[in-house]
C-alpha cells in the first residue's frame, strides 16, 4: 500500500512513517522543515520503501505535482502549525497552515485519485465543553483558539470532499501527544525552563489544569488500525486515553526524573494562556469499540518523554 504522510519530519509524522514502514507500506514523506527536523527522518530514510519530498504545502502546484507523481492510495495529513498557544500573535498563520494547506493537500489528493484521506484534528475543537469525558457528539458552539477554528474548517472541507467526491475521510481529534521526538508542549517547556534554571520554575496558570495525554506509539497505532478497519464516508474519532493528570502532577514526574526540586511560581488563573482549556478529557468509546486501546499510561508517557528529551538535549538547545 502507498501512503503519503505530510508533516513527515515532525514529531508525530516521523513516528508514523517509521510505524507504516514496519507494517510493510510504501511511504512518501513530505515536509518543509518549518518545525520538523531532518534528524527525525534518519530511520525512515534508511528504509528502501521510503522517499522524501521537501515541499511547502502552501504551494499548490508543487503539492499537486508531488501527489500526482507518487499516486498514493492513502494520505495522512499531519502538516500544520501544531502550536495552539501563540495563535493570537500571528492571526493568519493557523488559517494558512491549518486550513489552506489542508485544502491544497485535499484537492491534490482528489486529482491524484486518493481513496482515503486522514487528518490530525484536535480535541481543542470542543473549546471549553460542558460534558466530560467529551464525546464526538458534544456540541461546541464556541471556539477558543484560532488553531482549533482552522482545524474545524479543515474538518468541514474533508467531510464535503467525502460527500462530493467519494473519497473516505478519517478525522482524528487528538489529545496532546507525548513520546520520542516530542518537540513542543508543556513537558518540553518545563524541561527547557529547568535546563536553564533548576531552582525556580514558572507554571502557567494555577497548575490545576487537567488534561489527557497519549503516547505517540498509541497514536500512530490507532491511525493505522482505523484506516484498516473503518470504512464509513467520514470516520470521526476522538483519540486519547481513559485517564487524565494535572499540570502539577505532570511537573512532579518531570522533577523526579530530572532529580530537581524547583520552587514553583504560578502565573495564576484557571488557564495557562488565552484559549487554554482547563479540562481536556475525551470520550474515546467510539474508537475503543473498533478494538483499539492505549497501551501506555500517562505517567509512563510523561516519564518516557522527559527521558527522551534528556537524552536528546540538542532539541532543547535548538529551540
Ligand atoms: N502534538 C500534539 O500534541 C498534537 C495534538 C493534537 C493535534 N496535533 C496535530 O498533529 C499534527 C502533527 O503535530 P506534531 O506535534 O507532529 O507537530 P510538528 O510541528 O512536530 O509537525 C508538523 C510538521 O509539519 C511540517 N509543516 C508545517 N507546515 C508545513 C507546510 N506548509 N508544508 C510542509 N510541511 C509543513 C513541519 O515542518 C513539521 O515537521 C499537526 O497537524 C497537529 O496540529 C498534534
Q: Are residues 161 and 272 in the same domain?
A: no
Q: Which residues line ligand 1 (CB under 6 A)?
A: 7, 9-13, 31-36, 56-58, 78-80, 82, 97, 101, 120, 122, 174, 176-177, 183, 185
**Distance of alpha carbon 312 from alpha carbon 291, whole angstroms:** 34
CA of 267 to the centre of ligand 1 (A): 28
Q: Are residues 110 and 168 in the same domain?
A: yes
Range of the domain at 256: 180-212+243-318
Instruction: Please identify, by atom number, the ligand 1 atom nearest to the C-alpha of residue 79.
Output: 24
CA of 109 to the centre of ligand 1 (A): 19
DSSP lists the bridge partners of residue 76 as 5, 118
Q: What is the pTM of this model?
A: 0.98
Q: Are residues 217 and 69 in the same domain?
A: yes
Q: Are residues 226 and 296 in the same domain?
A: no
Q: Are residues 65 and 133 in the same domain?
A: yes
DSSP lists the bridge partners of residue 237 as 172
- Pick the closest to residue 53 from 9, 111, 23, 12 (CA basis): 9
Total domains in the fold of the chain = 2
Residue 142, C-beta contacts closer than 8 angstroms, at least 6 positions apart: 127, 128
CA of 26 to the centre of ligand 1 (A): 21
Peptide bond into 139 cis (omega under 30): no
Per-residue model confidence (pLDDT) at position 84: 85
Per-residue model confidence (pLDDT) at position 83: 87
**Distance of alpha carbon 156 from alpha carbon 181, whole angstroms:** 30
Per-residue model confidence (pLDDT) at position 316: 86
pLDDT category, 273, cuts 50, 70, 90?
confident
Q: Characterise 243 by phi-psi region: left (phi > 0), alpha (psi -120 to 50), beta (else).
A: beta
**Distance of alpha carbon 96 from alpha carbon 80, whole angstroms:** 9
Q: Stretch 187-192: mean pLDDT, rounded?
A: 94
Residue 165 CA to its chain's centroid (Å): 26
Pocket test for ligand 1, best of 4, 12, 104, 174 (most atoms within 8 A of CB): 12
Pocket test for ligand 1, best of 4, 7, 103, 219 (most atoms within 8 A of CB): 7
Provide, rounded to the nearest whole percent, the portion of the chain with pLDDT above 70: 100
Q: Which of 32-46, 78-92, 283-297 has the lowest mean pLDDT?
A: 78-92
Residue 47, C-beta contacts closer than 8 angstroms, at least 6 positions apart: 21, 27
Q: Are residues 257 and 144 in the same domain?
A: no
Pocket test for ligand 1, best of 5, 59, 66, 82 (most atoms within 8 A of CB): 82
CA of 48 to the centre of ligand 1 (A): 25
Sequence-ordered alpha helix ranges (H) in the chain: 11-22, 42-45, 60-70, 93-94, 101-111, 146-165, 186-196, 216-229, 247-258, 285-288, 298-311, 313-318
Q: Are residues 28 and 150 in the same domain?
A: yes
Pocket test for ligand 1, best of 38, 53, 79 (most atoms within 8 A of CB): 79
Per-residue model confidence (pLDDT) at position 171: 98
* CATH code for the domain of 194: 3.90.25.10
* CATH code for the domain of 58: 3.40.50.720
Q: Are residues 143 and 281 in the same domain?
A: no
Give 300-315 pLDDT, tens digit per residue.
Answer: 999 999 999 999 999 9
Q: Are residues 114 and 251 in the same domain?
A: no
Q: Are residues 28 and 157 in the same domain?
A: yes
Q: Are residues 105 and 250 in the same domain?
A: no
Q: Are residues 249 and 286 in the same domain?
A: yes
**Distance of alpha carbon 282 from alpha carbon 110, whole angstroms:** 31
Report the nearest-CA residue for atom 20 of ligand 1.
10
- Pick the closest to residue 118 from 4, 284, 218 (CA basis): 4
Instruction: Please identify, by atom number, the ligand 1 atom nearest to the C-alpha of residue 36.
Output: 39
Amino acid at each position: 500500500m502507498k501512503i503519503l504522510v505530510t508533516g513527515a519530519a515532525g514529531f508525530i509524522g516521523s513516528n508514523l512513517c517509521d510505524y507504516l514502514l514496519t507494517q510493510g507500506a510504501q511511504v512518501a514523506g513530505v515536509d518543509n522543515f518549518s518545525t520538523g527536523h531532518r534528524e527525525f527522518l534518519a530511520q525512515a530514510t534508511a528504509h528502501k520503501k521510503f522517499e522524501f519530498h521537501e515541499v511547502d504545502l502552501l504551494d499548490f502546484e508543487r503539492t499537486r505535482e508531488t501527489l500526482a507523481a507518487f499516486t498514493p492510495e492513502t494520505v495522512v495529513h499531519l502538516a500544520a502549525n501544531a502550536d495552539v498557544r501563540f495563535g493570537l500573535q500571528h492571526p493568519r498563520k493557523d488559517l494558512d497552515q491549518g486550513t489552506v494547506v489542508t485544502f491544497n493537500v485535499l484537492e491534490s489528493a482528489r486529482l491524484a485519485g486518493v481513496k482515503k484521506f486522514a487528518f490530525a484534528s484536535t480535541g481543542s475543537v470542543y473549546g471549553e465543553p460542558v460534558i466530560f469525558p467529551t464525546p464526538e457528539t458534544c456540541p461546541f458552539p464556541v471556539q477558543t483558539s484560532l488553531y482549533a477554528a482552522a482545524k474545524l474548517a479543515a474538518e468541514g472541507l474533508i467531510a464535503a470532499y467525502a460527500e462530493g467526491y467519494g473519497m473516505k475521510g478519517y478525522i482524528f481529534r487528538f489529545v496532546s501527544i507525548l513520546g520520542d521526538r516530542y518537540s513542543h508542549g508543556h513537558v518540553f517547556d518545563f524541561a527547557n525552563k529547568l535546563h536553564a534554571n533548576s531552582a525556580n520554575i514558572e507554571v502557567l496558570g494555577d497548575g490545576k489544569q487537567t488534561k489527557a495525554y497519549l503516547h505517540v506509539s498509541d497514536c500512530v497505532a490507532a491511525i493505522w488500525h482505523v484506516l484498516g478497519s473503518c470504512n464509513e464516508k467520514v470516520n470521526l474519532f476522538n483519540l486519547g486515553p481513559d485517564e487524565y493528570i494535572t499540570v502539577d502532577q505532570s511537573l512532579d514526574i518531570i522533577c523526579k526524573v530530572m532529580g530537581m526540586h524547583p520552587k514553583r511560581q504560578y502565573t495564576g488563573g484557571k488557564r495557562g494562556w488565552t484559549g487554554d482549556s482547563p479540562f481536556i478529557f475525551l470520550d474515546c468509546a467510539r474508537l475503543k469499540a473498533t478494538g483499539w486501546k492505549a497501551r501506555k499510561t500517562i505517567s509512563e508517557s510523561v516519564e518516557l518523554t522527559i527521558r527522551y528529551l534528556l537524552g536528546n538535549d540538542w532539541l532543547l538547545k535548538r529551540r
